[in-house]
Structure 1
Amino acid sequence: MNELLARLPAHQSSRIAEMVARDPGIVDLTMGLPAYGPPDIVRAELALTLAGQGAAAARHDRYAPVRGAPALLAAIAGLYGRQGVHVDPDADVVVTHGAAGAMFLAVLTGSDAGDEILLPDPCYMLYEPVVAVLGRVPVRVPTYPADGFALDPERVEAAVTSRTRMLIINSPANPTGVVCPADLLSRFADLARRRGLRIVYDEVLENFSYAHRHAHLHALAPDVGITVNSLSKRFGMAGWRIGWLIAAPGFAAEAAKAHTFGNLAVNHVVQLACASALADPDLDTRVGRQVRQVRHQGEAFVAGLAEIPGIDVRFPDGGFYAFADVRDLAGRLPGGAAGADRAAGDLVAEALLERARVAVVAGSAFGTTSRDHVRLSFPGRPERLDEALGRIAALAAGTSNQIPRRA
């Protein structure tokens, strides 16, 4: 058995989601799954292609090109072009199995076993396992609630050693909602050039940037930047597993080679179906409308959370997660005094699941400085968010035993 793999815990959100699937009475706020789904054009193109009527329909049963279907590569480049960012579809892009696949390729291609990879603490829960299972060394750079969990360039530089090869930045950040504005991103790029690093820039939530205009690293620093993105959040199609990596041509070529060894290619027919949607500029308007809808219901949800005694939370600068400090709520629970062995976030997440039947992710899943927090996803159906608020309020009031045990 792989010893590195055996030491890693299971993906917490996936584990809870499996539990929720067995009990639909649980309100699941763990996964970032928008209530809207893929655009109609994606489903229509998929049906046409499978029926042998779409563009290149007769070829969809063959392996896709390693880098991706030309139509999708062109559509990805066009998406960035509409935002003023030049991307060469033939040299800069590799289509991957979601953003997770792009992240795996980025770390594999840009570092060797034993190299150090800098990660914010807290950060998305898959970053450290990806780094560790590849035999690299994850090094956490702490961020703190008092600073809004913003990543500090001075702390990053202090963590750099002779073995450091990469820094992972996520903007808007999951779970904290922090957005990295262009001036700060430029400082990180300068640091990377000075210290001989690359930056892996996860921008899957780019459309959900509220406090600042989203900054594209490929526009600011294509020499040191490796962009990771996908259609999962943009089009609400996480299960379709279409992502991509954008980097300088030499890096992209090596990433494509690694992709060949691990996966050969990504599902061809899905690539063809998605290409038409991504290439349609009219859908940018649709995406903007959906972002406004998510923001509106998120603002209402976070306002409701903030009224519950024991919860300290504010609306995020970006993304669609509420990251709530629950120390006071933990103290209100029977036997809920947090300590060195039991973090407030763990206690509250456990109580919410067992007594209020609301599934959230404990902050300890993301790092050490967020152990007093829980993450709650808010892009789902509004009625489920309202139900969750009522159940969380009942837990805080000590009346959660009145919640039915089955839906």
Structure 2
Amino acid sequence: MRVLEEARALEEQGCDLIHLEVGEPDFLTPGAVVTAAGEALASRPLGYTPAAGLPALRQAIAGYYGWRYGLDIDPARVLVTPGGSGALQLALMAILDAGDRVLLTDPGYPCNRHLVSLAGGVPDALPVWPEQDYQPTLAALEQAWTPRTRALMLATPANPTGTTLTPARLGALHDLVASQAGALIVDEIYQGLLYEGEDHSALALNSEHVFVANSFSKYFGMTGWRLGWLVAPQAFTEVLVRLAQNLYLAPPTLAQYAAGVALAPALRPELDRRRDRLRARRDLLIPALTSLGFELPAWPRGAFYLYLRAPADQPTAAALAARLLQQGGVAVTPGCDFGTNETSTMLRIAYTQSRKRLQVAIDRIATVLRDR
């Protein structure tokens, strides 16, 4: 977000900035969702909803897992939240006592460690490596687990790497966590944005140890609507509702009325076409940037990020990011934002702009590298 603030400051000075630093594609909210929001505005008062969300939306989310993944999810296990971050916050506050420890992948989504601390827990970095697709191994998890460890947080597809876990690998990690009576919190907010491999959900594990966070932001194109959801074990639903009542009272009402349309099978072709456009952007950037000296340590099968090692002649990735912003008008995120595990040489590039703009960005990056 610091890079975004600096980029916007340059834009206010008249600079033409290409934003490849923020995980927000340039697509408009689907028209059917906007229409549903307009109908809700015109036809009903937009008062508070139940803390767990509109019953119809909870039912629609459960139904989505049914028609798309063949899963039978009880709507009572679904809580609608203010964004995916709200879902993660609820899960952590429900399971953690003061001083409990949570394992987080490094590199990983930077807000997670702060969410753990906010819930009274202690974040423990779990280094992950490109040879394992930047996802934990059983051996590393077993070694890192302590008597005070309460949970493991994962993401598939992952931020910043775009890597994924297969069902078998996810299941093996789950079994180890369950054997320790721990919780497995799986961030699936990039679900649906998968370019290779099997699209699946951790909910298929059918386990009382699994919490799944998801969001309408990424695949559904509703970032600014701030709406997500949590699917939790039945035993936790009562405490989660009480937490929601006290933390934020209710999720955004208008967004809830609009979001049900996003989950309908009729919208999937439009959303999948957007996914295919993102894949084409990925496939444009990878050969172009590797030809300039960047290295891609692990293949990004999902999300919309490239996690790249900067060319070897660059002092640090953060310094290169600053030069790209100031000299090239291209905003990217330095890897140090995502942890400390060999991140000083890494950059995250979000392919969230059109192919035409990405080509301009490629040319600008080439110029900055050449004019060093």
TM bucket normalised to smaller = over 0.9
Code of the residue aligned with 2:284 in structure 1: it is: A
The 5 Å alignment of 1:382-393 reads 382-393=355-366
* 1:329-385 C-alpha deviation (Å, 9 max, x unpaired): 41xxxxx3xxxxxxx221211221122221111101101122211000003222221
Q: 1:283 to 1:17 in 2, by over 3 A?
A: farther
The verdict on how the C-alpha distance between 1:20 and 1:193 changes in structure 2, with shifts beyond 3 A counting, is: farther
Partner Cα distance (2:133, 2:242) in 1: 39
SS of match in other structure, 1:206: coil
Counterpart for residue 86 of structure 1 = 72
Corresponding position of 1:300? 284
Say if 2:142 is the partner of 1:157: yes
Q: CA separation in 2, counterparts of 1:46 and 1:20?
A: 34
> Which residue, out of 147, 153, 161, partners 1:176?
161
Closer, same or farther in 2 for the Cα pair 1:375/1:246, shift >3 Å? Answer: same
Choose which of 256, 274, 277 in structure 2 pairs with 1:290: 274
How does the TM-score come out when normalised to structure 1? 0.86
What code does the residue aligned with 2:24 have?
A: L
Residue matched to 2:12? 22
CA distance in 2, matches of 1:112, 1:178: 31
Equivalent residue of 2:229, what SS?
Answer: strand
Distance 1:305 1:381, change over 3 A: same
- Cα deviation code 1:244-274 (max 9, x no counterpart): 0001122122112111101000111220121
Q: Does the aligned pair in 2 maintain the 1:211–1:317 contact within 8 Å?
A: yes
When structure 1 is superposed on structure 2, of 15-24 and 153-162 the one drifting more is: 15-24
Unaligned runs of 5+ in 1: 1-10, 331-335, 337-343, 400-407
Percent identity reads: 32
- Is 1:378 matched up with 2:362? no
- 1:17 is displaced (CA, Å) by 5.7
- The match for 2:232 is 247
Q: What is the alpha-carbon distance in structure 2 between the residues aligned to residue 358 and residue 297 of structure 1?
A: 16
For the 8 Å contact 2:156–2:188, the answer to whether it is kept is yes
The separation in 2 between residues aligned to 1:196 and 1:85, in whole angstroms, is 24
- Please state how far the C-alpha of 1:148 moved relative to its aligned partner: 3.3
Aligned-partner Cα distance in 2 for 1:109–1:368: 28
Q: Secondary structure at the match of 2:161?
A: coil
The answer (yes or no) to whether the contact 1:16–1:30 under 8 Å persists in 2 is: no
Distance (whole Å) between structure 2 residues aligned to residue 13 and residue 106 of structure 1: 29
| Aligned residue identity for 1:305 | L
Per the alignment, in what secondary structure is the counterpart of residue 215 of structure 1?
coil
- Equivalent position to 1:355, from 313, 319, 327: 327
- Equivalent pairs counted in the alignment come to 368
TM-score with structure 2 setting the length = 0.94
Task: State which of 298, 312, 324 in structure 2 corresponds to 1:328.
Answer: 312
The answer as to whether partners of 2:21 and 2:331 remain within 8 angstroms in 1 is: yes
Distance 1:78 1:156, change over 3 A: same
- The answer to whether the 8 Å contact 1:32/1:377 transfers is yes
The CA deviation at 1:391 is 0.8
Amino acid at match of 1:262: L
Q: Distance in 1 between the 2:94 and 2:148 partners? A: 15
- The Cα of 1:81 is off from its aligned counterpart by 0.6
Alignment check: 8 A CA contact 2:153 2:185 kept:
yes
Contact 2:96 2:119 in 1 (8 A): no
Q: What is the match of residue 80 of structure 2?
A: 95
- CA 1:142–1:38: 2 relative to 1, 3 Å: same
Aligned to 2:192, the other structure's residue is in SS state helix
Choose the corresponding residue for 1:123, options 85, 108, 119. 108
The equivalent residue for 1:7 is none
2:98 matched residue in structure 1: 113
Instruction: Select 1:274's aligned residue among 256, 259, 272.
Output: 259
- Segment of structure 1 superposing worse, 310-319 or 186-195: 310-319
Contact kept, 8 Å, 2:7 with 2:325, in 1: the verdict is no
Aligned to 1:333: none
1:48 aligns with 2:68: no
After the TM superposition, which parts of structure 1 deviate over 6 Å for at least 4 consecutive aligned residues? none
Q: Which of 9, 20, 24 is 1:33 aligned to?
A: 24
